[in-house]
Amino acid sequence: MTIRGNIFSFYKVAYTGIFVGVFFVFGATTVSAFGPMSGFGNNGNHNTELFQSLKGQILSQYKKSGKRLGKPYMNINNHCTKKLDKKDNTLSSVDLFRKYFHAGDYCKLPILKDALMGEYLQTYGAFVQTQDPALKIKVAKIAKIIGLAYLWTSAESGRDNSGPSSLNNMITAMFFFNTSYELNSDDTQTLGFLANVQLALGQIHRNQELIEEGVRLIALSIDRNPVFGLFSAAFGEVRAPTGSPVFQRGVERFWSYQDACMQTEVDRNNPDWAPYLPIEGGENWNCPNTENSLHRVEAFLLTFGDSLLKAGDLESAETMYKNIKYISTANNWKYKYLVKDRLKNLESHYEALQSPDPSDDPILVFSSKKYQCVVCHEQ
């Protein structure tokens, strides 16, 4: 599906399209896009019953958001553009999301989510009717991107000060990651996203069943895709209180991630990357920047450095920050100012983090509500 004609005309009719699509999927068949997915890729790796109670809440959000279609969207961020490019009408919803995600254009999210949802309903309806395996994979991909869109909305909710209401975005993200994974259980990245969002929501709601399922899925994610699984699990765990077993496990996972990427055990007493150069295109490093994760290496080093700084390992933290100088793409990295700040104020940041008063703590990358995602993905 491409977005034809004037992009805003598409959104004016999208609300009607959503209800037509919902009727098509709900009324014309016995299979619901928001109901049990048994028979459509569920390989028994997770508990689908946990998600069924969410469908009413999910659908009500779309009905509510539909009232805004065709109207000007809120001014979320003064630093992002307010208009779509003329060429956008040639892009699929997935490519449209990718374009503005890499641009860090958070204020486009309402438009992007509407476009994704419209294509999701249309494609899912066609899949239900035809059972075409290619459409099944396409639906899984769109559902995954919808999950990412809602996860981005929640992770950087500080841009629009949405506060606790960002929890709804996490719930929606979990729902679509679950849908995507059931349709395509070979996608281990989706498994990693699902596992960590499910664990986070379980902890927020003190839901032991969700917590246990999240922990199990994280283990499965690491087993099936060690590199992605280790990083995604660690990124969530280092948010835990310093000294807690969860935080310590997160730091240890980052060490393991580095070893997995370097394909050897890095000296923890001196983790300078100089002996392993060249990183880019070298034989040692197995986790390069990609077209989707444009600054993956820089973001890892900053995140790991922040984790070590929080842990009180000042020397290792400083080394991780300095390792970024070995990455050529860091010269064009928008967030290199964060590294400069860390190195310039290393002692004061360290002292603030070690004191019991959190009021003067620096905002570490995994605690930020403005650049958790874009620090890796923005151009």
CA distance 165 to 348: 34
Please tell me the distance from the alpha carbon of residue 91 to that of residue 4, in angstroms, as a whole number: 9
For residues 171 and 28, what is the distance between their CA atoms, to the nearest angstrom? 27
pLDDT digits (tens, 9 = 90+) for 216-252: 999 999 999 999 999 999 999 999 999 899 999 999 9
Query: Distance of CA 8 to CAs 19, 76, 86, Å?
Result: 18, 18, 11
Question: pLDDT tens across 86-107, in order?
Answer: 888 889 999 999 999 999 999 9
The sign one gets for the Cα dihedral 5, 7, 8, 11 is positive
Look up the pTM and report it.
0.79
What does the pLDDT read at residue 160? 78
Please tell me the least confidently modeled range out of 55-64, 76-85, 141-150, 190-199. Answer: 55-64
Please state the domain extents for the chain. Answer: 7-186, 245-377
